[in-house]
Structure 1
Amino acid sequence: MTTHIEQAPVRPTHVLADPSEQAVARVYAVSYLDAAQQAGQHDPLEDLESFVSEVLGSSRDFNSLLTSVVTTREQKAELIDRIVKPRASEFFTNFLHVLARHERLDLLPVIAQQARLEFDVRSNRKRVAVKSAVPLSDEQSGAVAERLRSTFGFEPILETQVDPSLLGGLVVQVGDTVYDGSLRTQLKSLKQRLRERYLNEIQSGRNRFSIDG
């Protein structure tokens, strides 16, 4: 089976012509998702992410062989056919062959990351960081997700984190915007307002003394 992934750029011959790793990986990630859509692949990330985490992540020797500059393109192609092909889809195997020919197999973890980000955008999903003083229950997480869904119109993917220093409440980050509703921040704000009120009262008293004098 042939795909449009073949149109992905080859490695520049000069290091100064090579864009950033993230940018190159994104080109391959977008090409991968576009080709997957054309080929009718319903879950294109399954093979990609499982290969990166379960194969490359668990077998250092295989990872080294597949990504080393010492291993020739022909040897890498043979490894893919012998080890990956019997266990993965034809579509994903072809993608690995494309990366092997372009000497880009070392970018697989970054490609997987970029593909996930792009897939989320295409699916109108967005990752939201949520910090709480104690672990959220399923019911609480569901309520937070529903509030985000109704407010912003996208499908939230909650990435929860426990931070006891918050004391209570939540800190929610959507993109670059942080919504801080933690008890720690509320107490800090209350303390600041009381301090300002106290200073204003002192200043008012001084002004009154000055006028009376």
Structure 2
Amino acid sequence: MAMVQRMRSSLPLFQKMLASDSVSSRSTLLNPNFIINVERSYATSAPAKKDKIKVPFAMFGGSGNYASALYLSAAKADALDKVESELFDLVEATKKSPMFSQFTKDLSVPAGVRIKAIDDICTQAKFTDITKNFLVIMAEYGRLRHVDGIAKRFAELTMAHRGELKAIVTTVIPLPPSEEKELKETLQEILGQGKKVKLEQKIDPSILGGLVVEFGQKVFDMSIKTRAKQMERFLREPVNL
């Protein structure tokens, strides 16, 4: 309870951090050629006429580009939730099967073999054409090893689409249910009613105590480890008499 109360006392600072500029205003770096490849089989799935769909915010890097391209295709077909679920089903399969996990990472496997295997797996799992076509392209270009990262980035986009925001709270020991509830309410108060907070707890004894809250591009660090480092720097500074 004390940690959450200290966080409430720091609300003005927290809100000031939130108000600072973020990368969301930067233009997207999507690869047009890749988007064309991803969408080449989707023309019949999307409505004939629909307002132009955009990603909720710009993503960068390979996984971000792929996730954004897949988001555009899934959104046009009104299948965001289904595609997200199927991606994580595949990721879960790689975690449960070391052999399948190795297959997705082994670039020595011929592209044709990779494509046939993924096509069969998706068909048996009854994945949507959007997910299957996307994974086939990943197999063709030897990118299956990046599916886990792509799925996580895709989930960030779908959460933004639903008005949700994932907050990761790191502590030394798990927060009691009452403190977790109060922390979630505090974050909701900070972010306003336009966002729905989804709280994820992480345990890290190295922070020594306190808590670290991460969401979006923001980090609010109230850990004892960070405070100790700040105090150490302060003590090392020369004293002017």
TM bin (shorter chain):
0.5 to 0.7
CA distance in 2, matches of 1:129, 1:70: 37
Structure 1 stretches of at least 4 aligned residues deviating more than 6 Å after TM superposition? none
Runs of 5+ unmatched residues, structure 1: 10-21, 193-202, 204-213
Question: Counterparts in 2 of 1:38-187, with a 5 A limit?
Answer: 38-43=76-81, 44-52=83-91, 54-91=92-129, 92-132=131-171, 134-153=173-192, 154-162=195-203, 163=205, 165-166=208-209, 170-174=211-215, 175-178=217-220, 180=222
Contact 1:5–1:95, Cα closer than 8 Å, also in 2: no
Distance 1:117 1:57, change over 3 A: same
Which residue is 2:46 aligned to?
none
- What displacement does 1:70 show? 2.3
CA separation of 1:171 and 1:75: change in aligned 2, threshold 3 A:
closer
1:26 partnered with 2:64: yes
The 3-state SS of whatever aligns with 1:151 is: helix
Structure 2 Cα separation of the partners of residues 83 and 38 of structure 1: 24
Are the structure 2 counterparts of residues 97 and 141 from structure 1 closer, same or farther at C-alpha, using a change threshold of 3 Å? same
C-alpha change, 1:170 and 1:109, in structure 2 (3 Å) is closer
Give the alignment's Cα RMSD to 1 decimal: 3.4
Deviation at 1:104, TM superposition (A): 1.9
Query: Is 1:47–1:88's contact at 8 Å kept on the other side of the alignment?
Result: no
Offset at residue 42 of structure 1 (A): 4.4
Structure showing greater radius of gyration is: 1
Residues 1:82 and 1:181: Cα distance change in structure 2 (over 3 Å): closer
Does the Cα contact within 8 Å between 1:145 and 1:156 map onto a contact in 2? yes
State the partner residue of 1:7: 37
Distance 1:171 1:23 in 2: 26
Shift of 1:132: 4.4
Segments of structure 2 that go 5 or more residues without pairing to the other structure are 1-33, 40-59, 235-240
What SS does structure 2 have at the residue aligned with 1:129? strand
Q: What per-residue deviation string (whole Å, max 9, x for no partner) do you get for residues 168-189 of structure 1?
A: x65534443425387x96xx99
The Cα of 1:36 is off from its aligned counterpart by 1.0
Per-residue displacement from partner, 1:98-124 (whole Å, max 9, x unpaired)? 212333222212211221223333333
On the 8 A contact 1:126/1:157 being kept in 2, the answer is yes
Identity across the alignment (%): 20
Aligned amino acid, residue 93 of structure 1: K
What whole-Å deviation, never above 9, does each CA across 1:77-96 have from its counterpart, x for those lacking one? 22123333111313322211
> 1:30-64: per-residue Cα shift (whole Å, max 9, x none)?
11111111112141211101211x22222232233
Question: Residues 179, 77 of structure 1: CA spacing in aligned structure 2 closer, same or farther, 3 A cutoff?
Answer: closer
Check conservation: 1:5, 1:98, Cα contact below 8 A: no
Structure 2 CA distance for partners of 1:181 and 1:26, relative to 1, 3 Å: closer
* Alignment length (residue pairs): 172
* C-alpha contact (below 8 Å) 1:128/1:156 kept by paired residues: yes
